[in-house]
Structures are given as structure tokens and as C-alpha cells.
Chains A and B, each alone.
Chain A
Amino acid sequence: MPNLKDLKNRIESVKNTRKITKAMQMVAAAKLRRAQEAAEAGRPYAERFNAVLGGLAAASGGGDSAPKLLAGSGADQVHLLVVMTAERGLCGGFNSSIVKMARAKAEQLLANGKTVKILTVGKKGREQLKREYGDQMVAHVDLSGVRNVGYDNAQSIAIDLIHRFNEGEFDVATIFYNTFESVITQVPTAKQVIPASFDAPEEGASASTIYDYEPSEEGILETLLPSGVATQIFSALLENAASEQGARMAAMDNATRNAGDMIEKLTIQYNRSRQAVITNELIEIISGAEAL
């Protein structure tokens, strides 16, 4: 049986851990609210953008004149997986679930004889994938200095991707991120960004209107596609940020509760041991007195 002093130390230590996890949970809750607001604020733009681009793409889709970014490079050999994770851990299965999904996709592609390249956004994903796919990693985007992800971050990733695409480094790019559903559910999502794919516009929404285009339909499509890629990456980053905080909040809530349970158990054990020591001492005194 551990002695009383050890138990007491142990209880103190778990109490401190509980304080830390409790604080982290509260910080995550505050950040989550902000991240959710940001995600909501970004939604109208992304929706409109997708609707307009979707309409445009549908109109010119399949034609020979369609830009490369939309039509693809004509091949399906080299796949670039853009794995977006958090910069920090302690957020439950958040990072692992994205990595797991990306890994499954990579395995599947490799089994089909495709070439896989990996670009990571966020430190945690890189750490997890480095060992297995170290040779296939082409780049890493570090967002650790970024407090709140902005459109600039998304844009620079998009510019980099498009640049690589134009250089012929890959044929298909897919982004992996977590979609924020609620604090307890984040859904790992894979989305193909190059060649660009857009959700079909809603029936009868903009499809029925015939627009005039300035300068020209192709011209607009050409200028807007890169922004379209950036917009998709931006919404993924926002979703990811909200999911990360949600996951961290849930994980820390669990940790706090576990620490509480542990303190309870240890306290009971401590009290029992103390009682045992007292009883022991009493017995010793009594038997000592009797012996006299």
C-alpha cells in the first residue's frame, strides 16, 4: 500500500492537472465562439462565389475552351493530397481523423498505381505523416504564427497550388479537413479543388437567368477560378479552425471530468489508508498497555 505522503502528492498533482484542463477548455470555448463567427461570416461569400462559378463552369464545362484549372490536365496520374491539420495537439481525435482519412486515400491511390504527393498545412499532420510518406512530402505550410486564419493565408496556399499545377507537378489536388458539425461531431472531409469542382447551383436559382458577361464568359472564368480555389481553401481553413476548438473543448471537458473521478478515488484511498494507520497505532498502544 502506497504511503500517505505519496497519495497526498498524487492528489495534489491530479488537482493541478484538472485546473489546467479546465482552463484549456474555457479558452477553447471562447476561441470556438470566435471561430464559429468567422466561419459564419465567410459563408455568404463562399456560397455566392460557388453559385456563380458553378453556373459559369456548367455553361462552359466540357468545351475545349475550358481553362485547364477547370478541365484538368487530362491525366489522372499524380495526386496531391493537401492535409490540413492543427498546429497543436490536445484536441482529441481531431488530427488523427484527418490523417487517417488521408492515409487511407493515399493507400488506395498507391494500390492503383498512382503517384501520391503530400502537402501539409499544420504541424501535427506533418509529424504523423512524416515517417510513412517522408519522401512524398513536397511542402509544408506553417500557420503556427497565425492567430486567426485570414483570406490571405488561403490565398497564398491557393497561389502555391496553382503554380505547382501549372508546372505540371500534379494532376489532381484534394484537400482534407474537418467539417464542423457540432462541438462533439467533426466530420473528416475530402474535397477535390483542382481540377475545380463546384457544387451544382440550386435548381432554378441562377440557372434560369441569362447573364451578360464582362469581359467575356471565358475571361471571367479564367480570372475567377484561382479565387474560387482560394475561397474553397479558405472555407476549409475556417471549418478546420472551428472544428479544432470544438474538438479541444470536448477533449478537455472529458479530461476535466476524468481528473475529478480520479481525485475522488484517490481521496477515498487516502482516507482509508489514514484510517488504517490510526487503527494500527491504536492497536499498538492497546497491546502495549495490556502487556504491562
Chain B
Amino acid sequence: MADTMQFDLVSPERRLASLQATAIQLPGVDGDMTAMPNHAPTITTLRPGIVRVEAPEGNAEYAVTGGFAEITATGTSVLAERALPVAEVTQEVLDSFVSDAAAASQNATAANLDELAKRTVDIAAMASDLGLSVKPA
């Protein structure tokens, strides 16, 4: 069995990571999932949360605000709307996530109101994972 798989994390503006990983934990919309080599091909959308990468060279964590992941037997690519290493997530960055989500709720339609409300909750959950707190909007 192959021990590692290719892991790519790209955002619209840059490529954040491209490395060999042994396991990747993803915040899927339907719940967290872990992708390991030889995973069945899957495409899943992501909720705001943390992508954890286990690699021989060391583990890494990235905060993402949504997007999707494409998993194949030999690799996983995460296409995130916004992504950055967890170490760079400061209160300020988090606040901008929150205000973006709030702005999105402003012009929400009835159809996606639930979705956007969930998004805000997800961001709050991510924040508590990181030991930060979200100011109530």
C-alpha cells in the first residue's frame, strides 16, 4: 500500500501547499472526514473549518472558509475560497471571516438563509477550536 498521497491546497490567489501526506482531515459539509491513500474517489464541499494534514515531514493545519475537495486514490486537492495556515489566523482575520459571512447573509434569499446561518455557526466553531472567540454580530 502506498503510504503517502499528493496533497494540494490552492486558493484562487495562490497555491498554499503541495506535498506528500499520509492523511488529511477535511471539514466536509456532512461532517469531518479523513482521506488516506487509496480512498475512493470523492468530491465533497467544505464548511468553514480546519484542514489537518499529516505528513512525514510534519503536520500542518490550515483554516479554510469553504470550497471543495477532490479526493482520488493517489491524491487530494482542496480548492478553498480562502485558506491560510492556522498560525496566521488572528483575531483580525477571524473578524473578517465573520463580517464576510454577515455580508453574505445580508443579501441572502430564503433558500440559502439556513446555509448562511450555518456558515456563521461553523466559523464560530472553528474559532473555538483555535482558542479565539467570535464577537456576536
Given the known A-B contacts A49-B79, A166-B109, A224-B68, are A150 and B13 also in contact in the complex, defined by CB atoms under 8 Å? yes
User: B-facing mask of A96-119, CB < 8 A → 1, else 0?
Assistant: 000000000000000000000000
A117–B14 alpha-carbon span in the complex (Å) = 34
Q: Which residues of A contact B14 (CB under 8 A)?
A: 41-42
Inter-chain contact A44/B15, CB cutoff 8 Å = yes
Interchain CB contact under 8 A, B28 and A214: yes
Distance from A70 Cβ to chain B, minimum over Cβ atoms (Å): 16
Which A-chain residue is minimally distant from B104 (CB atoms)? Answer: A159
Please tell me if the beta carbons of B30 and A214 are within 8 angstroms of each other in the complex.
yes
Q: Are A46 and B43 in touch, CB under 8 angstroms?
A: no
B122-134 to A contact mask, C-beta < 8 Å, 1/0: 0000000000000
Whether B40 is near chain A, meaning CB under 8 Å from some CB there, is yes
Q: Does B44 contact A (CB under 8 A)?
A: yes
Q: Which residues from A are CB-within-8-Å of B10?
A: 44-45, 48
Contacts of B81 in A (CB 8 A): 151, 155, 227
**CB of B41 within 8 Å of the partner chain:** yes
Q: Mark B22-65, 1 if CB is under 8 A from A, else 0.
A: 00000011100100000011111100000000000000000000
User: Do B15 and A52 touch (CB < 8 A)?
Assistant: no
Return the contact of B30 from the options A52, A56, A215, A224 (Cβ within 8 A).
A215
* Cα–Cα, bound, A212→B42 (Å): 4
B77 close to A (CB within 8 Å): yes
Q: Does A223 contact B43, Cβ atoms closer than 8 Å?
A: no
Interface size, chain B (Cβ < 8 Å): 28
- Whether A212 lies near B41 (C-beta < 8 A) is yes
B6 CB–A CB distance under 8 Å: no
Contact A211 B30 (CB under 8 A): no
B41 touches A45 (CB 8 A): no
Q: How far is the CA of A215 from the CA of B31 in the complex (A)?
A: 10
Q: Are B41 and A41 neighbours in the complex by a CB distance under 8 Å? A: no
Q: Is the CB of B44 within 8 A of A214?
A: yes
Tell me whether A85 is interfacial, beta carbon within 8 Å. Answer: no
CB <8 Å contact, B45 and A163: no
A211 touches B43 (CB 8 A): yes
Cross-interface CB contact of B12 among A45, A213, A215, cutoff 8 Å = A45
Q: Give min CB distance, A241 to chain B, whole Å.
A: 13
* 9 A-B pairs in the complex with CB atoms less than 8 angstroms apart: A38-B13, A44-B8, A48-B10, A211-B70, A214-B30, A215-B45, A220-B45, A231-B12, A234-B12
Known: A49-B79, A214-B28. 12 other contacts (CB 8 A): A45-B11, A45-B15, A48-B70, A210-B41, A212-B41, A212-B43, A214-B43, A215-B44, A215-B45, A220-B43, A223-B45, A230-B12
Q: Which 6 A-B pairs have the closest CB atoms?
A: A214-B44, A151-B12, A212-B42, A41-B14, A45-B10, A211-B41
